Amino acid sequence: MTGASGFVGGAVCRALAAEGATAFAFGRRPAADPGHLGGAPYRAWDLVRGPLPDPPRVDAVIHCAGSVTDWGHAAGLFAANLTGTRHALATFPDARFVHVSTASVYDPFRPSVMATEDEAPVRRYMNAYGASKAAAERAALAGGATVLRPHAVYGPGDTTLLPRVLSAVRGPVLPAVGTGRQRVSLTSIGNLVRACLLAATVPAAGPRAFNVADAEPVTIDAAFREILHERGVRARPVYVPAALARPVAAAAEGAFLLARRPEPPRITRYAISHLAVERTLDISAARTVLGYRPDPTSFTGAAGW
């Protein structure tokens, strides 16, 4: 398991422990809490620096390591996502390889309406994050991997989606972009973990890509309202048309780049492209080939996440 010290990797490690599987956990951090890893032995490994010199013998690799932010310099994003994937593949050439990618490989310049796997990668991306993830996918598939494409992963331990939503709240208002009626496919951490275990064990899993999402799409307004309700936040979503928000986001990005600020602005064109238009995924291939049976979208219990 690469990226084991992170949100997704840790959840997969704990699931493997619950299944009684022997897991080896690797991550960039110097150490990781054994509870986070389900008791799996941990070893620090910065994949950007090269293949692991003395890897254990394993049947399968679940590769979760990579950039978790869409904001950053191209060189760093390509190193984390593409170079790291190449080094992981080189370290375990004989093992089944499951590469956890992202729905950001789909076209960011138009809506994704029940997108099928053959609609990605595309020729151009909005930022280096999408381009580097697409390049990593190509490398993984060339190496015989099974690729999983989740969208907006959430659940206990989430460090991205829920924190970003909650940090945007201003008094009684959650500013948002679009109409609120746009549909999105979200992916719970439980569903993604289930897909990872299936991809690592089902004989016909690869090499190919699979969309991974909750059972059915939801409207973004319904998702926002459930998040706010579960967290006890007395606010309501208020929507700004995407046509007005995009130039504001472009200006904010330019200002942050000129100031060389490491963190992203509160609104980016990338975020708008994923939340202000439909982003839905066809998961029929995962259902048919992997036997994937996802749960519906739910933020029940989010107060304790």
How far are the Cα atoms of 16, 74, 176 from residue 184, in angstroms, in the given order? 29, 27, 14
State what percent of residues in the chain have pLDDT above 90: 89
Give the phi and the psi of residue 165 in degrees, each rounded to 5. -65, -50
Tokens of 68: 């978790």
Q: How confident is the model at residue 248 (pLDDT cuts 50, 70, 90)?
A: very high
Give me the mean pLDDT over the 149-174 stretch. 94
Give me the mean pLDDT over the 260-283 stretch. 90
Tokens of 288: 């048919």
- The predicted structure's pLDDT at residue 243: 92
**Residue for token pair 């992963």:** 153
Give me the mean pLDDT over the 256-282 stretch. 90
Tens of pLDDT, residue by residue over 178-230, are 999 999 999 999 999 999 999 999 988 779 999 999 999 999 999 999 999 99
Q: Residue 194's beta-bridge partner residues? A: none
The 146-150 sheet, strands edge to edge: 60-63, 96-100, 146-150, 208-212
Residue 66 is which amino acid?
Answer: G
* Element spanning 188, H or E: strand 187-188
Domain residue ranges of the chain, discontinuous segments joined by +: 46-304
Give me the mean pLDDT over the 99-123 stretch. 97
Confirm whether pTM is higher than 0.85. Answer: yes
Q: What angle do CA 106, 108, 110 make, to 5 degrees?
A: 100
Is the pLDDT assigned to residue 162 strictly greater than 80? yes
**Residue for token pair 């950007």:** 48
Tens of pLDDT, residue by residue over 36-45, are 999 999 999 9
- The predicted structure's pLDDT at residue 92: 98
Rounded Cα–Cα distance for residues 283 and 69 (Å) = 25
Contacts of residue 69, defined as CB under 8 A and 6 or more positions apart, other chains included, come to 129, 160, 264
**Residue for token pair 């439909």:** 278
Q: Is 100 helix (H, G, I), strand (E, B) or coil?
A: strand
- The predicted structure's pLDDT at residue 69: 83
296, 293, 274: which is closest to 284 by C-alpha? 293
Give me the mean pLDDT over the 78-97 stretch. 97
Rounded Cα–Cα distance for residues 227 and 298 (Å) = 9
Q: How confident is the model at residue 34 (pLDDT cuts 50, 70, 90)?
A: very high
CATH of 46-304, one of 3.40.50.720, 3.40.50.300, 2.60.120.280, 3.20.20.70: 3.40.50.720
Rounded Cα–Cα distance for residues 169 and 220 (Å) = 15
Question: 77's torsion region: left (phi>0), alpha (psi -120 to 50) or beta?
Answer: alpha
Q: What is the dihedral of CA 32, 27, 63, 41, to 10 degrees?
A: -50
DSSP string, 113-126: EEE-GGG-S-S--S
Q: Which range has the worst mean pLDDT, 94-108, 237-251, 265-279?
A: 265-279
Give me the mean pLDDT over the 64-74 stretch. 89
- The predicted structure's pLDDT at residue 205: 78
